[in-house]
Structure 1
């Protein structure tokens, strides 16, 4: 898909001259502090195609966004042309999209890489009064919206976007450390829901999380689908709740789960928590929502489970 997008852009490239802004999207990204992203664009030979007449929309991660990535990921982007091209094109839309009061929450928009990005709008309250909206793209905050270039609009992000591995269920299946969760979801019949359109949020306990449970409780969950269903539905919420949205849940810090209960969510300056349990692997982007990896199983009615 990425290769076809490059060919399409190249074939459609026409002679052009600067317009009223005297800048095209790749150069505007550099001017606005996304110099690493701009360098990746030019090193991957996408500078000219992404300077074509457009209109396009570019989501440009700032330099601090790349500093959050692991050295292994940076090395992959530096050395794997196919990978970096796919990542760059996942940041570009073949249309003009502004961030304004008409931006819808949980909106999906197709990218030049193929998979869609998900835009969320979270209202922020202070002292129970609305102050402003925070807009995210696949969970990354738009820190500078609606910057205009001659061939489109550029939004600066505080994080790098990576195409999703597929649906929530696909993401769970692909992770060996989530094999107990995967089997549990299939056994209780939730796999079809997690393969659907969503949007959904799942707090996904790892195998280590299940193995931390008392042996008798773990055995009960593994052998009793009713008990497993009660626990696993307590880990799933309707809607896409990235960590940026946790503190913006109206006047409450609670999220309704698929079971009869709520989970309590909050964030510190460095991490997010659910029921006072740290989210170990937050904001894993999926095509139909988001996955948060947990190293502890959430139990809906603690007294019932003997904890």
Structure 2
């Protein structure tokens, strides 16, 4: 790992910590479950029977169940199809982790949005994409992956059993702390004490589950 890479990563971590990562520390109004959708739900077809509108923050159990039945591909193959995850897809490829996320697993992936990576200092993302940065990038991506397929309900059960917190051991070998906000959103606190939030949960694939988050998590680097 080059000196420049070290400096850029240190700057990235410092920036996230110093700014409080505004979007990362704001819980979404409602946490969705199942396959991601656009902001407004599609209108029902004429004559179709629909359930009552979902209250803000309430999990859509039926959507999650439908997602389970529809799982036909791996996490690696599904990544390019997920909305606003193009940057993560590119980073997974650069870190040479496609094979891992296409493997039997199972895995739980906390997938940061494209916007989350824009908080890095100018040039930091380009540095991470360089061949010499592969070990550092792999650590960052692995910090978003946990062995085992953990649904939102299982995560909440672990949080409750842990007295309000659950320590998740990531593939990077470093802990990620899961907790619950007052509105029921799952929060993830990284090694720097910065929070990101799950805004769409339980996207189930053949080798695990993906939870979309509104921020990236930063492991200890160096």
Q: Distance in 2 between matches of 1:235 and 1:177?
A: 16
Kindly report which structure 2 residues correspond to 1:202-221, keeping only aligned pairs within 5 A, or say none: 202-221=109-128
4+ runs of 1 displaced by more than 4 Å?
A: 157-160
Structure 2's unaligned 5+ residue stretches are 1-32, 50-58, 190-194
Distance verdict in 2 for CA 1:72–1:245, change over 3 Å: same
Q: 1:196: Cα distance to partner? A: 2.1
Q: 1:212: Cα distance to partner? A: 1.6
Higher strand share: 1
From the CA coordinates, give the structure whose radius of gyration is larger. Answer: 1
Q: Distance in 1 between matches of 2:208 and 2:91?
A: 19
Deviations 1:40-73 (A, max 9, x none): xxxxxxxxxxxxxxxxxxxxxxxxx9xxx97634
Aligned to 1:263: 176
**TM-score w.r.t. structure 2 length?**
0.62
- Does the 8 Å CA contact 2:94/2:129 hold for their aligned counterparts? no
Aligned to 1:161: 66
- Does the 8 Å CA contact 1:234/1:261 hold for their aligned counterparts? yes
- Does the 8 Å CA contact 1:256/1:262 hold for their aligned counterparts? yes
Aligned to 2:12: none
Q: Distance in 2 between matches of 1:175 and 1:226?
A: 25
Distance verdict in 2 for CA 1:177–1:265, change over 3 Å: same
Kindly report which structure 2 residues correspond to 1:33-72, keeping only aligned pairs within 5 A, or say none: 72=41
Q: Which has the higher contact order (CA 8 A, sep 6+)?
A: 2
How many residues are paired up? 163
Aligned to 1:129: none
Question: How well do the aligned residues superpose, as a CA RMSD in angstroms?
Answer: 3.1
State the SS of the aligned residue for 2:125. Answer: helix
Q: Distance in 2 between matches of 1:158 and 1:188?
A: 32
Distance verdict in 2 for CA 1:164–1:217, change over 3 Å: same
Structure 1's unaligned 5+ residue stretches are 1-64, 85-138, 142-156
- Does the 8 Å CA contact 1:246/1:267 hold for their aligned counterparts? no
Q: Distance in 2 between matches of 1:177 and 1:71?
A: 16
